[in-house]
A and B are shown apart, each in its own frame.
Chain A
């Protein structure tokens, strides 16, 4: 029989449904209802992997989500998942898993040499060993460390599975479906409140699935089934299994990934995991407790596990992990595991650190014929790939040393217990405080500002009757606070004996800490008691330093097993109490969460929306190379087949100067400004005066912030007496609108002005070049001659049969017509323009050509040539600031000493001595290249291009006292060593009088 450790008549697995699976390439069988851990134990496979640092053989230590060491690589290829806890993987047909962190195999692992040389890799060894030479860090040290230390391997392909998010609200969220959680859900549900109750395991019941105690005079199974049936019948109650409350955020916002199809294996139809985002009015945490292991020499051999886990394997899965079982405990709770193991056919010995244990459990164990070594501790264990025996010795009265003769006990499984830690992770995430309760030697929930209650063993209440009562009270109280009345009715269970725990954290051996065998407190990160002693010797005695120096609790298990033991050992060294050393704050997620679940549907194309102009399809079909600006993707250039982007840009520049081009300017921000006080409002937000502007005329304006610095720019057109069409930069469109609303709503609510975002209502074709007018004339009957349609005016009429607003503005320096049409006609009108322009060799041009064209004319781009520290005067545009009108935003800023002082950076042009040297963007300018560092920067290059029009490199720069330096030389000094001479010039390189735009 293959499943040698299976016990007949025990467990909840379905023996009529065998399930085949492979581990490390070898085939095994388990049953439906098994986890990978229980099925492997059933087959007597105890060695699961190699440890993180020392490559020591490791197996499962728990039977739940707190598992630190039973980690495997699940499945292969795109479906592979690293570091999955064997204790949480439900067995499915064809499951394939493999050991991690071992080479070439888990039984013969080359990295094991790390264990022998462990004296060389103490805590903090990264910091100490790999200091020199610095250049070796990336090339040598990091690679070597990553190869020899680590966990599983990331998948290298895209995740092929589907994930989804669900957003829900509820009155009461109950986390956990053990006795306390079920009792809470039942009582909250009966009040009529909307309840969500969830549990990370496949089945509801929690500890009852192991203990099987009677409730309401019914066997546990029956009580669980009846409770679930009652909850199912409640319309407002949602029951979720396989769902882990992973994160607790502010205002009772909890996220919980649900494993929807994971337990069927890979390649399933539909959603693999569902990420619940829950906003709960009230929360009841019934998250249970984790058994705490004692820290003793060689406590990490496969076959050593928590006493409660051993009992779970026997009772829930019908698996007896060993034939010769030792239970090592300091309290009564582990005696049940000994008795159940004995009943399942094991030979059992109890090693109890207490000098004279007593009570019903003690008597029951004795009556079963179980031998009990009282006042003993385990001082060593034996076995290579699994435990084969343990050495025990009498403990001194204070439990700090051993004396007397050792006894060797042959064994193939050890169940350990040093008490219980309430699972306060979610409480702590909720910003709740915890307090040490010396009576039960654990941290319990204390104050929390959120609407949350803890019930049951996560609240430090460990007896079943107490858990049921607390759950009922918490359920009713939570429902009441959410507005639903009810009377608590607790399910009834028999009284239990107390743990009678005698605290012991580190179990002494015959040699001092650090000189004998390793005693692990953090099994996942391979941290030992000796490491804590080292941290203490080196001064890392605060809990936060201890954690980071030794890496205790920083692995994927978040220190569920290790934290309290680490605190206790440090407290002992410091002569302090455990709460005196402190606690660490738990962070989300409670257990590792897949990125897929967190991303949900927001992957690939749906990761973030792409804003597209109405002419998008045409651009895409005509070689557009796209660039991102805000949420827009817009054409940078239109490359012809075989043409480089750079060549396309130069061709576009040349054609606009020579004939005509058309640019899609639809991305500009557009705001409809309306109301009796619209003009007054513009006077306040722009630097220039708007009172005299006539209907049908337009004006370019700067918006400043209150400090007097340029914030945005654009052209605003007067459409009617109290009606304007404002444009803003593309990237700043949303921010400008919110900013204007701020002024209107908060500062000047008395102004009667309404702002409407019309950015996406208009498509804008900007026709530019000496032949622009000729193209437009073919499409409209309007008189668009220079005399009838002067610069900075607007005409309304038909273009290509479509109602249009045409604006004569120019950002290229050429004669331009900005044709605004309703968005839905954008592509049609664009195509008509291209058709009409064919005889003039019209070309579409992208943003890069536009930027080169405007730089040739010395026009600034706000956000590129300004950086929030630049005034209009710095840009040489003082003319745009009205001297005559009253107040406007930014005016007072001009008087600030920083603005009024001399020596400010000013916009200038740069011409390189080498005509074809295009300066890198952002380059710094210095007086002389030969100066030794530190070299003072006198300015920096903000726009820099190859000018096809001028056949040379041009640039714009902000330079201290720049205008006074025109004609002088500076040097571009770059990080790559470039040192090139430049001459400062006026920022306008082309058509200084602006005649072309007015033509």
Chain B
């Protein structure tokens, strides 16, 4: 079972959370005016990447807060979790989804990887 690091509560088991899909899909300000194609994109079109993914989580069985996360969809390693409104802390392009953020930064500093 994966662990999710709630920015308000800390690391908890997956069973406390619900998943909310891709993050940073803002509701169009001019939703009444947008075309059907744009509306469909807002509703249905998702990146579904193999690799780094920004996504939403809700600590449903905890603080009930919604927050965002950067997760590698192959390894399930989280790069970071962050609060709504904060800038996404994205990993560098070379991140393989295996090392945690601190491990990755430690190895790149020493030039080991």
Contact = CB atoms under 8 A, between A and B. Distances in A.
Given A449-B98, A738-B64, A741-B66, A747 B76 contact: no
Interface string B1-41: 11100000000000000101000001100011010100110
B1 A738 contact: no
Contact of B66 (A249, A279, A706, A745): A745
B65 interface: yes
Contact of A250 (B2, B20, B85): B2
Most buried by B among A449, A741, A891: A449
Contact of B84 (A251, A749, A891, A895): A749
Contacts of A279: 3
Interface string A243-263: 000000111010000000000
B48 interface: no
B43 interface: yes
A897 interface: yes
A707 B56 CA distance: 20
Interface in A886-902: 887, 891-892, 895-897
A746 interface: yes
Contact of B32 (A449, A738, A745, A892): A892
Contacts of B40: 896
Given A738-B60, A746-B84, A896-B39, A250 B76 contact: yes
B52 to A, nearest CB: 15
A544 interface: no
Given A741-B66, A742-B58, A897-B36, A253 B18 contact: no
B43 A707 contact: yes
Given A746-B56, A887-B32, A251 B1 contact: yes
Contacts of A896: 36, 39-40
> SS class of chain B's interface: helix, strand, loop or mixed?
loop
A745 B58 CA distance: 11
Contacts of A747: 26-27
A742 B39 CA distance: 20
Interface string B73-113: 00111000000110000000000011000000000000000
Interface size range of chain A in the complex = 20 to 34
A738 B39 contact: no
A891 B39 CA distance: 12
Given A251-B2, A897-B36, A745 B76 contact: no
Contacts of A250: 1-2, 76
B2 A749 contact: no
Contact of A251 (B20, B27, B76, B85): B76
B42 to A, nearest CB: 8
A896 B60 CA distance: 32
A746 B68 CA distance: 10
Contact of A449 (B27, B60, B75): B75
Interface of A: 249-251, 253, 279, 449, 706-707, 738, 741-742, 745-747, 749, 887, 891-892, 895-897
Which A-B residue pairs are the 5 nearest by beta carbons? Answer: A250-B2, A449-B98, A745-B66, A892-B31, A253-B1
Interface of B: 1-3, 18, 20, 26-27, 31-32, 34, 36, 39-40, 42-43, 56, 58, 60, 64-66, 75-77, 84-85, 97-98
Given A746-B66, A749-B84, A896-B39, 16 more contacts: A250-B76, A251-B2, A251-B3, A253-B2, A279-B3, A449-B77, A449-B97, A707-B43, A738-B18, A738-B58, A738-B64, A741-B64, A891-B31, A891-B32, A892-B32, A896-B36
6 contacts: A251-B76, A706-B42, A742-B20, A742-B66, A747-B26, A892-B39
